[in-house]
Amino acid sequence: MVLPDGHQPVTTLTAMLRAGTQLALVHIGDTRAYLLRGGEMSQLTQDHTYVQSLVDQGGLGRDEAAVHPQRSLLVRALGTGALPVEADLALRTALPGDRYLLCSDGLSAVVDRDTLHNALGTPAEPQAVVRRLIELAYEHGAPDNIACVVADVVAA
């Protein structure tokens, strides 16, 4: 399908599958996965955007990237045409107490890392954390759709 403006619709994907202590992660685009483990938060995925490529090459700083007018321009996404698109794949060890956040740029682009960390670090149930993250995104003027999932790893 080609839109009236000549563009083809594309989408992003970040997904996880857990089997026992193993966790598989697949990622393409600018949706993100974060891990909160032992009070420390880390971003598990890297955005597949034009601006992120400039940051990676040292041509743009993180602060500049956050406000760059082309920060949402994807360089890898699903539905880009006939050429195969490579996704990032990772296999991780899931530990009891881990908390994962998967989210769209509707959240990560407007809510800063420290605020995400604080929200994830609360002892609330995952559903309550999701509600709080969505509230925060709206409070910060989310210009885009907001999608997020919070999942806790518990002992079997």
Average pLDDT over the chain, rounded to an integer: 88
pLDDT at 96: 95
Residue that has been written with the tokens 């920060």 in this structure: 71
pLDDT tens-digit series, residues 42-101:
999 999 888 888 888 888 877 787 778 787 788 888 887 667 788 999 999 999 999 999
Domains of the chain: 13-152 (3.60.40.10)
- Mean of pLDDT values over 107-130: 95
The pTM assigned to this predicted structure is 0.88
* CA count, 13 A, side-chain hemisphere, 105: 20
